[in-house]
Amino acid sequence: MAGDWIKMRSGLCDEPEVIALAACTGLDEDAVVGKLHRLWAWADQKCADGNAPGVTTSWIDRYVRADGFAAALVEVGWLESTESGVRFPKWERHMSKNAKRRALTATRAANHRTKRNAESNARSNAPRVTKGAPREEKRREESPPPTPSGNGPLTGGPGLEEVEEGLRRCGVSVAGRAARETPLQPEECLALIEEFESAPAGAWAPGALYRRVMGQLDEWPPKNHVPESDVDRAAREQREENLRQLEAEWGHAHDALPRDARSEIVAVAKRSDPEAKSGSRLRSACLRVLAADPDHWKKPVEVA
């Protein structure tokens, strides 16, 4: 078992995938996050590598007490249904022992930086020795304590081998040399590696991580992205404008409908627009369904 805690982002409730899960299941975002925690905590205890043989999507629905929850997870890419069971994608990045170790390392590095900055500020703000002090004593009191070198492991902290392993995992070809020659503390290097691995795939090239570790860059460069054409931008802006109009006219009415009605609207929206799988496109499709026949959806939904 990987441990008795799991990683969950503080802003998870606002993630597009969570919003899509809420739209697909008829739950609110807070309820979705709670059910995700229940499911991921179970997976953390029962899965060694992200695979859960013999587990079905219907079992997951029963476990989290929400019909269609597993299917919605599959749609947003947070679950995969296989012939032998189900699989949790990106397990190594988020749920494995190494992922937890990297998260703890990032926390230790942040605490270390805070402590080091506080000590530095305390030294710079300390009162100077009085003029009457002997010269030798004055030199001794004004000399700051030596700082540890970045080319060796901190006491009780991670070592260079761990830094080299992380850099190599991220695709840095000269991982060994970078680990030996970096001016940073090992924990600071591991915090950068954690940030690199937590970003979307391809957001930064391995060279960006190398330059950060070597102290050549103070900040990450802009994340890589595919340039948007004028046609694509115009289409996106039109979709956004259409959604704003639909939200202004029908958003409140949709959210005030009973859960059964909203779930049925989602099903109708997906049939009318097969590409409306999640996010803003699914939201637009749902609001269009409501706008087409609002009186119908205000009536109780008959369950077949």
Q: Is residue 134 part of a domain?
A: no
Pair 215, 184: CB distance under 8 Å: yes
pLDDT given for residue 113 in this prediction:
65
Identify whether residues 270 and 237 lie together within a single domain. yes
Query: How many domains in the chain?
Result: 3
Pair 75, 107: CB distance under 8 Å: no
Write out the H or E segment, with its range, that includes residue 85.
strand 85-87
pLDDT given for residue 96 in this prediction:
65
Q: Is residue 42 part of a domain?
A: yes
Q: Quick one: what percent of the chain has pLDDT higher than 90?
A: 15
Final residue before a domain boundary, out of 39, 66, 91: 91
pLDDT surpasses 80 at 43: yes
How many whole angstroms from its chain centre is CA 80? 18
Final residue before a domain boundary, out of 225, 258, 284: 225
Identify whether residues 274 and 204 lie together within a single domain. no
pLDDT given for residue 34 in this prediction:
94
Identify whether residues 201 and 81 lie together within a single domain. no
Identify whether residues 103 and 213 lie together within a single domain. yes
pLDDT surpasses 90 at 39: yes
Q: Between 304 and 223, whose confidence is greater?
A: 223
Average pLDDT, the chain: 78
Q: Is residue 29 part of a domain?
A: yes
pLDDT surpasses 50 at 151: no
Q: What are the strands of the beta sheet with 51-53, ordered from one edge?
A: 51-53, 85-87, 80-81
- Among 1-10, 40-49, 69-78, 196-205, the minimum mean pLDDT is found in 1-10
Identify whether residues 283 and 220 lie together within a single domain. no
Full residue range of the structural domain in which residue 218 is found: 96-124+157-225
Handedness of CA 160, 162, 165, 168 (dihedral sign): negative
Identify whether residues 19 and 101 lie together within a single domain. no
Q: Is residue 198 part of a domain?
A: yes
Q: How far apart are CA 192 and CA 197, in angstroms?
A: 9
Look at the block and give the residue holding tokens 């004004």.
142
pLDDT given for residue 90 in this prediction:
81
Look at the block and give the residue holding tokens 């995992």.
169
Q: Which of 196, 186, 113 is nearest to 152 (CA)?
A: 186
Identify whether residues 35 and 85 lie together within a single domain. yes
pLDDT given for residue 219 in this prediction:
82
Name every residue whose Cβ is closer than 8 Å to that of residue 215 and which is 6 or more positions away in sequence. 182, 183, 184
pLDDT surpasses 80 at 53: yes
Identify whether residues 199 and 79 lie together within a single domain. no
Torsional class of 154: left (φ above 0), alpha (ψ -120 to 50), beta (otherwise): beta
- Residue 153: pLDDT band by 50, 70, 90 thresholds? very low
Q: Is residue 133 part of a domain?
A: no
Identify whether residues 164 and 255 lie together within a single domain. no
| pLDDT tens by residue, 59-114 | 999 999 999 999 999 988 899 988 889 999 888 777 766 666 666 666 666 666 67
Identify whether residues 197 and 258 lie together within a single domain. no
Residue 130 dihedral angles phi and psi, to the nearest 5°? -65, 155
Identify whether residues 183 and 289 lie together within a single domain. no
Rounded mean pLDDT of 234-254?
Answer: 85
Final residue before a domain boundary, out of 184, 201, 225: 225
